[in-house]
Amino acid sequence: MKTEWLDAVAWDDKGLVPAIAQEVLTGKVLMVAWMNREALMETAATGRAVYFSRSRGKLWRKGEESGHVQRVKDIRLDCDGDVVLLKVTQEGGIACHTGREACFFNRLEDGEWKVVEPVLKDPESIYR
Amino acid sequence: MKTEWLDAVAWDDKGLVPAIAQEVLTGKVLMVAWMNREALMETAATGRAVYFSRSRGKLWRKGEESGHVQRVKDIRLDCDGDVVLLKVTQEGGIACHTGREACFFNRLEDGEWKVVEPVLKDPESIYR
């Protein structure tokens, strides 16, 4: 298996790179998480988004608890090699742990952050 | 002027936060750069994207050399407060310093990064 492409990524001093997940059909930016080498390799191999959880210090196969798996249609790397962009289909239509479609639900309005996107599912019913 | 909203941002240990610029009309993810408190404040105040250049160690008013200014239509913060999303109109249709529309022009295909987006303008003619 070819792995040279992983060396083109500008991993940071912790061996991580930020990854943006974007819904392929609507273009909506769903979330940003981190990947280590193993996470990106598994993502490419399986077509399912795998991140590295900095808080838990281990691989995080998106959807492993929630069922909200991301099917990866396209993997991009930016000009500097230090950001990954995944175009995905979000199963269940919910990417955020708050039960919203996307994590970017705080909108700056008149000098305050306003929550502008609805909770689609109670997080307590997502994470049993 | 209200500045409490800036305290809601989870600035990292260098006082920075990553910011994604997304073209508001097409949904295309154009680039990711970094902001410090001053950059985000000026972006909100002026409606023009301002970043913090880590390499130059100073504010970077996007387009100051290239003319490729980003007009900011919407400023979002994610659930953890540690990523900013700007929805912008990209003047000149070029966000990347390589002369491409967007920075995410490397696509993973069969274990290799392939350049899949054209250079729209020679960088040497952009940065005189």
- Tens of pLDDT along A49-92? 999 999 999 999 999 999 999 999 999 999 999 999 999 999 99
CA neighbours closer than 13 Å in the CB half-sphere of residue B121? 18
Task: Give residue B90's pLDDT.
Answer: 98
pLDDT at A109 over 80: yes
Which residues have CB under 8 Å from A60's CB, separation 6+?
A33, A39, A50, A51, A52, A53
Cβ pair B75, B86 in contact under 8 A: yes
pLDDT at B26 over 90: yes
Å between B105 CA and nearest CA of chain A = 6
B127 confidence band (pLDDT: 50, 70, 90) = confident
Show residues of chain A in contact with B1, CB under 8 Å. Answer: 111
Q: Which of B26, B84, B85, B86 to mutate to test the interface with A (most CBs of A within 10 A)?
A: B85
Selected residue with higher pLDDT from A65 and B23: B23
Residue of A nearest to B3 (CA): A111
pLDDT at B109 over 90: yes
Angle made by CA atoms B37, A111, A96, in degrees to the nearest 5: 80
Task: Give residue B2's pLDDT.
Answer: 79
Cβ pair B10, B80 in contact under 8 A: yes
Residue B78 among known ligand-binding residues: yes
pLDDT, mean of residues A4-26: 97
Å between A55 CA and nearest CA of chain B = 12
Q: Do B85 and A29 touch (CB under 8 A)?
A: yes
Task: Give residue B47's pLDDT.
Answer: 98
d(CA B78, CA A95): 12
Alpha carbon B112 to its chain's center = 26
Cβ pair B84, B76 in contact under 8 A: yes
Q: Do B76 and A112 touch (CB under 8 A)?
A: no
Task: Give residue A128's pLDDT.
Answer: 62
Q: Which of B24, B77, B108, B120 to mutate to test the interface with A (most CBs of A within 10 A)?
A: B108
Q: Do A27 and B31 touch (CB under 8 A)?
A: no
Burial label for B38, CB within 10 Å (0-12, 13-18, 19+), is middle
Report the relative pairing of strands A84-90 and A17-23 from DSSP bridges.
parallel
Q: Which domains does chain A have, with CATH numbers?
A: 4-126 (3.10.20.810)
pLDDT at B1 over 70: no
pLDDT at B128 over 70: no
Q: With pLDDT > 70 as the criterion, what percentage of chain A qualifies?
A: 98
Task: Give residue B79's pLDDT.
Answer: 98
Residue A103 among known ligand-binding residues: yes
Q: Beta-carbon neighbour count of residue B127 at 10 Å?
A: 10
pLDDT, mean of residues B84-103: 97
pLDDT, mean of residues B69-86: 98
Per the prediction, chain B carries an average pLDDT of 96
Show residues of chain A in contact with B79, CB under 8 Å. Answer: 96-98, 100, 103, 105-106
Q: Beta-carbon neighbour count of residue A120 at 10 Å?
A: 14
Task: Give residue A52's pLDDT.
Answer: 98
Angle made by CA atoms A121, A123, A128, in degrees to the nearest 5: 115
**B8 close to A (CB below 8 A):** yes
Task: Give residue B126's pLDDT.
Answer: 83
Strands, E assignment, B4-126: 17-23, 29-35, 50-53, 58-61, 70-77, 84-90, 106-109, 112-115
pLDDT, mean of residues B80-109: 97
Tens digits of per-residue pLDDT, A113-127?
Answer: 999 999 999 998 887
